[in-house]
Structure formats: structure tokens, C-alpha cells
Amino acid sequence: MSALHLLDTLSLTSGDITSILDDARLFLTATGLRTSVPPTLQGRTVTLAFFESSTRTRLSFEAAAKRLGAVTLLFTPTGSSVEKGETLGETFATIEAMGVDAIVLRHGVNGIHHEMSQNTSMSIINAGEGSRAHPTQALLDASTLLERLPIRARMAPLDGYRIVIVGDIRHSRVARSNVDVFLKLGAEVALCAPPTLAPDDDTMKGLQYFDCIEDACKWAHVVNLLRIQRERITADIVPGIDEYRERYAMTTERAQRYPDIVITHPGPVSLGVETDARVLTMSQSLVHRQVTHGVAVRMAILQRLLNPPTP
Amino acid sequence: MSALHLLDTLSLTSGDITSILDDARLFLTATGLRTSVPPTLQGRTVTLAFFESSTRTRLSFEAAAKRLGAVTLLFTPTGSSVEKGETLGETFATIEAMGVDAIVLRHGVNGIHHEMSQNTSMSIINAGEGSRAHPTQALLDASTLLERLPIRARMAPLDGYRIVIVGDIRHSRVARSNVDVFLKLGAEVALCAPPTLAPDDDTMKGLQYFDCIEDACKWAHVVNLLRIQRERITADIVPGIDEYRERYAMTTERAQRYPDIVITHPGPVSLGVETDARVLTMSQSLVHRQVTHGVAVRMAILQRLLNPPTP
Amino acid sequence: MSALHLLDTLSLTSGDITSILDDARLFLTATGLRTSVPPTLQGRTVTLAFFESSTRTRLSFEAAAKRLGAVTLLFTPTGSSVEKGETLGETFATIEAMGVDAIVLRHGVNGIHHEMSQNTSMSIINAGEGSRAHPTQALLDASTLLERLPIRARMAPLDGYRIVIVGDIRHSRVARSNVDVFLKLGAEVALCAPPTLAPDDDTMKGLQYFDCIEDACKWAHVVNLLRIQRERITADIVPGIDEYRERYAMTTERAQRYPDIVITHPGPVSLGVETDARVLTMSQSLVHRQVTHGVAVRMAILQRLLNPPTP
């Protein structure tokens, strides 16, 4: 990753990924984040542009940038020239002309990060792109798993591990990026979803598929849950919460029956749907530790893009 | 106050209070705030989470944290995972996992600050809690009064002073915290309110009660006004502005008739209701000086919680 | 400019203006902004108060203040005490009491910046005032032009240059401030607008007037476009986009026919109305460079007001 941007995971090799994760590890302690790190981004400016709202990811990037001494500017689409009909290209040209070094962009349109990257000297960091990609989520998930799972084989860091992604895979950018990163790090990856939420394109083809979480649990070392939006629980998609929980949820009871399974979730969790509050506090859940890795991984990415080591 | 949190004033001794106010005084000058203070909170992160909107208190805390070199993150409930149904406990766990050291919380639900404090290693600072408590307002009011009022007795800093709180006491968290702090510092405290806005619970029982401000002015050294929300001016509660002003307002005329009375107000003032623009500029009004003490007191609190002196 | 405030350009002499622009030049490089500048505003606090929304100008001022090491506080009128009926004077008194050194104010009411300046010790910086003034826009436009246009005469920096301002002049605060600054720097200035959007007051009287951009292009060295809000395109004001483009727009075709004309625009551009996306990327367009000068000029102004050189 000597590139200017982080547009997706597809362009990263497994060497790029482990190198980012090695950097991230330097920002972590056993229970949190290192409190004093060199301000390697002093004098750099990072703009956060979230065209889909997300307090959680925005705060994570903002914390990451500020911990490294960067100045952050929050671009708010509401009340901005975007609302006055400006194109995103013009908005980017304007932000770049203000001396901004990197833009953290969340946007609902697939492909817009690539499109914008053609014509800017700012670093574009993908913080969520339609249903296509969420590269920092995949990297932080991998970072958290590498910390927890002992290395089993020399081949690759996740070699010998089986990870199943469970939930609304069809609409999930997290699933698409995670599949890519987990495979590159050597894991076996499977999917588990109701047929109505299984992928309907070619982005994740050829993976093993489970129609119920019980079967998946018998196979997997890691269950990577996805959020089920309550809006999806309608007759056509998911008949009801009880039916969903029966076949696809990591309930408290199920987590207790499979105590060796490691559980991850990108958050926010729909409590009482795909899992329970109780599960989040079990030692087999990495959900809160993922958030900490999120800041560390984003620090590593910002630092690599904005202040690469001189060779 | 060796605690982790500032949840209310009830747990503070008079010694705790005067110790905080001593710290605050170091950040003040005769007319404003000291311009260069050591960045004792460098490397610390403070999140501001206001579930009830308040530009004034939010800015005050943000200025306080930044003056001490802390990084601030603004949590915005709108568009956040809270709107997506996340529990506040989960939100807190997430913010904590991002390496946040303290959370400044305003919330409408009585008791939620205590509840949240049971389960976090962040410092929780109460910036307003339902109708129950607003500890930093009480501390800054005390700080401003101590600066203005000469010490009369050895017993306690406000010994020998009579303070009357006037206005919508029933719904006021400021009244409840101020009564507690003023009493602890040795003042005599009375209440003055229309019967419909007098307290209807036991939190302030046993205090002297005035049914009109004229009687209160004959008794008091300090009149601590509260805001009357214009929505309360309806037939059932306060018959009309004229009637309210006649019996309960610190009008310009009344302030001039009692030139020795010191006037405080937590802001924002409903001008033309509980007092007048003219009054705010009189030398007997401490209203603007209170705002300055607000920043200093919040600096003192942040510093004590996040960077306590090593013994 | 030894004053406390930047309220408009009318009080600036041509010497003041060139002195500000000299300072701004120190923050610029050939393609962007200098990355490391001394933090001359460390310990200073700047509040951004935008009562009319503008992400662009707000970000520019925020970047400027932060690049010089100042702390910024964002005042948000929504949810603030202003919404609770507080007067702007009281809001200012409160912000000042928080130890704020300067307030960057955008407001729709003509004259309010002057009014507020009567009663505060904060520096007020006008970031847009009704239809009356937008001084930093005029200064950044001049700064950008001075960089591009070779000096022709000894008399004044823009001596020998002809600038035409084109578009919705009647409602434009940019036009009013730009006319003033361009004239003071020695330029000849003309206006070009549909009769319905020509000035209807005395603020810009005596200037040459063109009824179509073709005539203006034959005369001018610089075309300073203004934004046409699409709401204005109604039968009464501007009959239609095609008619407007024919007579008043700097279309791609027209820009190519007049390759020596320099084009400026305060942004955001109504693409396809007053000009085209293509034009913005031509070397005769200064539109993106103006944004960079915007940050530099605002840095210069903040520094002069908040940290004037000791004589």
C-alpha cells in the first residue's frame, strides 16, 4: 500500500494488510489505546465527509486523526453547497483547495470513491460505500481476530480458521469487504443468511452457505454477525423476530452452548434480534474490543497515507 | 472528591466544594480567563454528549476541555446509533472503547448518570440531569458568589448570607443542586415561586418560602433567578406576564430599589419575564461573570477527574 | 487596519488592503498552502457563528484558525438559547464571557455586525452580512487577482485593469464589497446584469453598466461571475436558463472565444447556469485558486486582529 488512497480492500495484498495491522498494534495496549503517541500528523488536515450519517464511524476516525495531531474539519452535507446543487466533484475540488490532505468519505453510491479519486491530490479514505465496500471495518475485524486467535500455521495469519458471516449479507458492504480480507489472510469463509438476504450478485460467489446458524456453529471458529435492520423484518424478507432468532441469531443460550466460538459484530447491534446484550459482555465476544481496534487501525491508515516513512 | 465521576453535588462535602473552587480561581483573572494555562489534559479525550440541546453549556465544557489541551469529540444523538435503537449502555461501552477518558452528559432522565456510572471506566460529568441535578451550575454559582461576597464569618464561606431562589423551582434541576451547595457553604436559603411552580416533592423541604419577591428582597442578600419558560405562561400555571412580573420578577425598577442585592441567573434569560436586559448590565448582576466562572469551574473539574495531582 | 474588528471593506484604505494581502502571501505556495506555519494564535479562541448556513466559508475560517493554532468553537443557532428567545446581544455577551477572543459572524440582517461591535471586546469578523458586505470574499478575490495579473502601473496594484461583475448584483453582498475593494486597488469596475437584477439602491452608482456579457467581454480583463440562485429563474426575474446563458453566462464556448479573460466566482457555482464545469478547469479560471487564497487571507486577518505585531 504505497498508494494515495484507501478505496477498498481488493487492491490490498495480504502483505499490505498485515503491514497495516502491524502498525495498528503499536497504538494498542492490552485493554485500550496507548495514551501518548508521537503527533506524526501535526500540520495535516483531515476532512470528515459523511453523506450517510454515522456517529460511531465518524467519531472513530475523528479520534484517530486527532490522536496523531491532525486538524479535523467536519463537512456537513446539510446546509452545504451540495444542497445548493454543487456536484461532488466541485465540492472535492473546493475542499482540496483549502489545503486539506485527506478526506474520509462515507457515501451511499457504489463506485463514487473510485470516481472521486481520479481527480484529486487528497487521500480518499473509504469509510463506507453503498453496498460495495467498507475497508476499514474489514481491517479492524481482522486486527481484532489476529489478536485473539493463536497462529495455527505458517502459511497465513488466519490459516486454519473458519469464519462464518451471518445476517443480512445481501445489503452488506461489511460482508463484501470482510470476505475479501478474511480470505486473503488464509481463513475459510462461509455465509449464513435467510435466502431473502443471501447475496444476489457475484461478489461473494463460491463460498460455502449455511441455511441456519446451528449448522454454522458446528463448523466455525468465528461467527461474524451483521446487523439486521428492524425495517427488514416484514413478511417478504424476514417473517418475524422469533423466526429469525430461532434460525440465525447468536442468542445467549446459543453462545453458551458454543463457548469456544469467537463472536464479532460491526455495530450497532440490534439487541434482541441478531444477538443479546448479555452476549456482548461474554469473554467470547470481541464486539467492544473491535471498537478499540477501529481507532488503532484508522490511525495506522491515516499515518501511512499522510506521513509515509521515508525509505 | 477523589472520585471518578461528578454525578451530583450530594456526594460532595463542603471541603470538596471549596477545594474545587480554589482550583477554579487559578484559571480566572479579574475580568476574564487566564490566557495561558499548562495543557494538563494533553493526550486526554473528552466526549460531549448532549441528549438535550444546549449550545451554552456545551460550548462552556468544550472551551474548558480545549483550554487544558484535551481533544474533544462531539457525540450527536441525531443520526447516531442511539436513533437506530442502541441502548445508552451500549453507546457508552462503544465510546469508552474508543479510548475516551471522560464523557460530559446531559440527559433528560433522572438517575441515568448514576446508572451509567456503574459500568464504565470513563469519568462521567453531569451537565444536566432531568429535574434532579445540575452540579456544575451550582458550583459555578457558588464560585461567582464567593468572589463577590466578603467573608463574614469563620464558619463557612457563605455563612451569614441569605440567598433566595426565585422562579420555576418545581421543574428546576438548578434549584435542587444550588440549594444543596449553598446550604453546604453555610448560607441560609429560601425559595420564592408561584404556588403552581413551588416544589411538589421532598427534595427541598424545610426551606423558608416567600410568596412574592418583595418580601424575599427584604430578607435576602442574593436573588438567584431561574428561567421562566414562556410555555409555562398559561392560565393554569402563570396567569400572565404582567402578573408574574408584579409578584416574582427582578424588574429594573425593583433592582434599583434594592441596590445591595446581588443577582444571579443560570441563563438563558427570558428577557422581559423574570428580569430585564437593563438589569443584566447593572453592577449588582453577576450574570455575565457567572459564565466566565462556568468555564473555570469546568476546567477545575476536568482537571481533577482526568489528571489528579499525584499524592 | 489597527482596529479590533473586520466589519466591512469601507473602513479599509488601499494601504490596509495591500498590507493584509502581503501577510496572506506568506501562507501561500505556488499550488497550495504552506504546511508549517508558526502557531501564532495558540491560546486564542475563535467562535464561528453562522446564522445563515455555509459549509464552505465556515470550513475556510475554521481551517484558517486551526492552522494558526487557535481553538475553534462552533456556535450552532439551532437548539441554542437564540431559539429560546435570547437576543443576539445577550448571546454575544455570553460567548465573550467564555473567554472567546474573536467571533466569525455570518448573519442575514444588514448592519448587525456594526451594531454588535459597539458593545463587545471580542473581535468581530464579518463572514457575510445580508446584502451589504462580505469583506473577506472581496479581499480573497483581490488576493487571487494580484497573484495572477502582472503589475501594469505604479499607481495601484490593479491600475490598468478592467473588471466586470456579472450576475445577480442586486442581492449580492459580494458585489458590494468587491466593487469597493477593486476600486480602491485602482481597477476600473463595471456591472453586467439583467435589469431585474441590477442594483436598485445607491451603493454601486456611477459604475459602467453592460446589458449583455458579450459587450462586457470586449471591455474587461476580468469577469467576476456571481451565483444565480435557481429560485430566481422565474418569469418575473430571469425568464429562463437558456435566455440567461445567452446574454449573461460565461459558457464554455464564450470562455474559449475570450482566452485572455480571467474568470473568478465566489462559489458555489450553479453549474449550467452562470458558467459550466468545463470552464472551472480552464487555466483562465481562478475559481479553485480563490478558495486557497480564502484560507490564506482569513489567516492573515485572524492574525492581525488577534496577535498584532508589537510595534
Q: Which of A59, C164, A1 is nearest to B98 (CA)?
A: A59
Residue in chain B lying closest to C100 (CA): B63
Q: Confidence class of residue B151 from pLDDT cuts 50, 70 and 90?
A: confident
**Which chain B residues contact residue C80 at CB under 8 A?**
53-56
Interchain CB distance below 8 Å, B97 and A269: no
pLDDT band with cut points at 50, 70 and 90 for residue B276: very high
- The confidence score (pLDDT) of residue C1 equals 46
- Residue A53 confidence (pLDDT): 81
Q: What is the per-residue pLDDT for C310?
A: 66
Interface test with B, best of C74, C94, C96, C101 (most B CBs within 10 A): C94
d(CA A220, CA A209): 12
Q: Three cell numbers at A229?
A: 435492520
Percentage of chain C exceeding pLDDT 90: 84
- Taking residues B124-139, report their average pLDDT: 97
- CB-CB neighbors (< 8 A) of A77 in chain C: 55
C188: left (phi over 0), alpha (psi -120 to 50) or beta: beta
Neighbours of B, requiring at least 3 CB pairs below 8 Å, are: A, C
Those residues with Cβ within 8 angstroms of residue A150's Cβ, 6 or more apart along the chain or in another chain:
none
Q: Does residue A237 belong to the interface with chain B, where contact is any CB pair within 8 Å?
A: no
pLDDT computed for residue B1 by the predictor? 46
CB contact under 8 A, A85 and C280: no
Residue type, B191: L
Q: Which B residues 16-55 touch C at CB under 8 Å? A: 32-33, 35-36, 53-55
Compute, in degrees rounded to 10, the torsion defined by CA atoms B242, B248, B251, B257. Answer: 130
pLDDT at A81: 64
Residues of C in contact with B289 (CB under 8 A): 97
Provide the whole-model pTM: 0.95
The mean predicted confidence, pLDDT, of chain B is 93
- Give the closest residue to A228 by CA, choosing from A236, A214, A220, A238: A238
Radius of gyration of chain A (CA): 19
- The cell for B113 is 448518570
Q: CB distance from C275 to chain A under 8 Å?
A: no
pLDDT cut 70: percent of chain A above it: 96
Q: Distance from CA of residue C123 to its chain's centroid?
A: 18
If you average pLDDT over residues B117-127, what whole number do you get? Answer: 96
Cβ-in-10-Å burial (0-12, 13-18, 19+) of A207 comes to middle
Q: Are strands B71-75 and B162-166 parallel, antiparallel or unpaired?
A: unpaired
Pull the grid cell for residue B256. 434599583
Tell me whether residues B267 and C94 touch, CB distance under 8 A: yes
Q: Say how far apart CA B63 and CA A185 lie, in whole Å.
A: 45
Task: From residue B307, give the alpha-carbon distance in Å to each of A165, B40, B68.
Answer: 43, 7, 11
Question: What is the β-pairing status of strands A208-210 and A188-192?
Answer: parallel
- Mark yes or no for CB contact B294/C93 under 8 Å: no
Q: How many CB pairs under 8 A join A and B?
A: 80
- What is the distance in angstroms between the Cα of B31 and the nearest Cα belonging to chain C? 9
Question: Chain B closest CA to A55's CA: distance in Å?
Answer: 5
**B chain contacts of residue C96, beta-carbon cutoff 8 Å:** 288
pLDDT(B83) > 70: no
- Bridge partners (DSSP) of residue B216 are none
Report how far residue A98's alpha carbon sits from residue A93's, in angstroms, rounded to the nearest whole number.
9
A11/chain C closest Cα distance in angstroms: 30
Measure in Å the smallest separation between the Cα of A311 and chain C Cα atoms: 21
* Contact between A187 and A161 (Cβ < 8 Å): yes
Q: Rounded mean pLDDT of B275-298?
A: 97
Name the residue in chain B with its Cα closest to that of A31: B97
User: In the prediction, which pLDDT does B240 show?
Assistant: 85
Q: Is residue C223 a contact partner of residue C261, using CB atoms and an 8 Å limit?
A: yes
Q: Is the pLDDT of residue B2 over 70?
A: no
A-chain residues within 8 Å CB-CB of B45? 63, 66-67
For the record, the C-alpha cell of B164 comes out as 433566595
For residue A192, what are the β-bridge partners? A166, A210
pLDDT tens sequence across C104-123: 999 999 999 999 999 999 99
Grid coordinates given for A72: 479535523
What tens digit of pLDDT does each residue of B40-81 get? 999 999 999 999 988 899 999 999 999 999 999 999 887 666
| DSSP class of C283 | T
Which contacts (CB < 8 Å, 24+ apart) does range A257-263 have?
A: A257/A217, A258/A217, A259/A284, A260/A221, A260/A284, A261/A217, A261/A220, A261/A221, A261/A222, A261/A223, A262/A145, A262/A148, A262/A149, A262/A221, A262/A222, A262/A223, A262/A286, A263/A222, A263/A223, A263/A225, A263/A287
Residue C289 in contact with partner chain A when CB distance is under 8 A = yes
* Three-state secondary-structure class, residue A227: coil
Predicted confidence band of residue B311 (pLDDT cuts 50, 70, 90): low
| Residue in A41, A57, A59 to test binding to B, most B beta-carbons within 10 Å | A59
Question: Are B53 and C98 in contact (CB < 8 Å)?
Answer: no
State the pLDDT at residue A310.
66
Question: C55 and A71 in contact by Cβ < 8 A?
Answer: no
Output the CA–CA distances (angstroms, integers) from residue A258 to A254, A279, A292, C88, in the order listed. Answer: 6, 12, 25, 62
Q: Is B191 exposed, middle or buried (0-12, 13-18, 19+ CB in 10 A)?
A: buried
pLDDT digit string, tens, across residues B182-204: 999 999 999 999 999 999 888 88
Mutate to test the interface with B, among C81, C87, C95 (most CBs of B within 10 A): C81
Q: Are C194 and C170 in contact (CB under 8 A)?
A: no
The reported pLDDT for the residue numbered C80 is 63
pLDDT at C239: 75
Please judge whether A67 and B95 are an interchain contact, meaning their C-beta atoms are less than 8 angstroms apart: no
Question: Can you give the pLDDT at residue C81?
Answer: 64
Q: How far apart are CA A155 and CA A161, in angstroms?
A: 12
| Ordered alpha helix ranges (H), A26-172 | 55-67, 88-97, 112-117, 135-148
Q: Using alpha carbons, select from A275, A276, A272 the residue that is nearest to residue A224.
A: A275
**Cell representation of residue C10:** 469601507
Of B57, B29, B61, B33, the closest CA to residue B47 belongs to: B61
Q: Is A222 helix (H, G, I), strand (E, B) or coil?
A: strand
What would the grid cell of residue A243 be?
423466526
Predicted pLDDT of residue A232: 73
Q: Nearest by CB to B98, which of A36, A60, A268? A: A60
For C279-301, b where at least 16 C-beta lie within 10 A, e where not — what string? bbeeebbbbbbbbbbbbbbbbbb
Q: Grid coordinates standing for C228?
A: 444565480
- CA angle B160-B283-B170, nearest 5°? 60
User: For helices B135-148 and B173-184, what crossing angle results, to 10°?
Assistant: 50
> Can you say how many angstroms the Cα of residue B63 is from the centroid of all Cα atoms in its chain?
16
Query: Residue C66: its pLDDT value, please?
Result: 97
- Whether residue A4 has pLDDT greater than 50: yes
Which residue in chain C is spatially nearest to B35 when comparing CA positions?
C43
**SS3 for B48?**
strand
Q: Are C174 and C166 in contact (CB under 8 A)?
A: no
Nearest-neighbour CA in chain C from A297: distance (Å): 25
Residue of chain A whose alpha carbon sits nearest to that of B47: A59
Are C68 and C299 within 8 A, CB to CB? yes
Between CA C126 and CA C301 the distance in angstroms is 11
Beta carbons of A81 and C230 less than 8 Å apart: no
Q: How confident is residue A79, by pLDDT bands cut at 50, 70 and 90?
A: low
- Residue partners of A257: CB distance under 8 A and separation at least 6: A217
Q: What is the pLDDT of residues B233-246, one digit of tens each?
A: 777 778 788 999 99
Q: Which residues of chain C have pLDDT under 50?
A: 1-2
pLDDT tens-digit readout, A130-186: 999 999 999 999 999 999 999 887 789 999 999 999 999 999 999 999 999 999 999
Could you tell me the domains of chain A?
Answer: 14-133+294-306 (3.40.50.1370), 135-290 (3.40.50.1370)
Evaluate whether A152 touches A161 at the Cβ level (below 8 Å): yes
Cβ pair C9, C129 in contact under 8 A:
no
pLDDT at B77: 83
Q: In this complex, is the C-beta atom of B279 within 8 Å of any C-beta atom belonging to chain C?
A: no
Q: Is residue B297 within 8 Å of residue B25, measured between CB atoms?
A: no
The rounded distance, in Å, linking the Cα atoms of C258 and C245 is 16
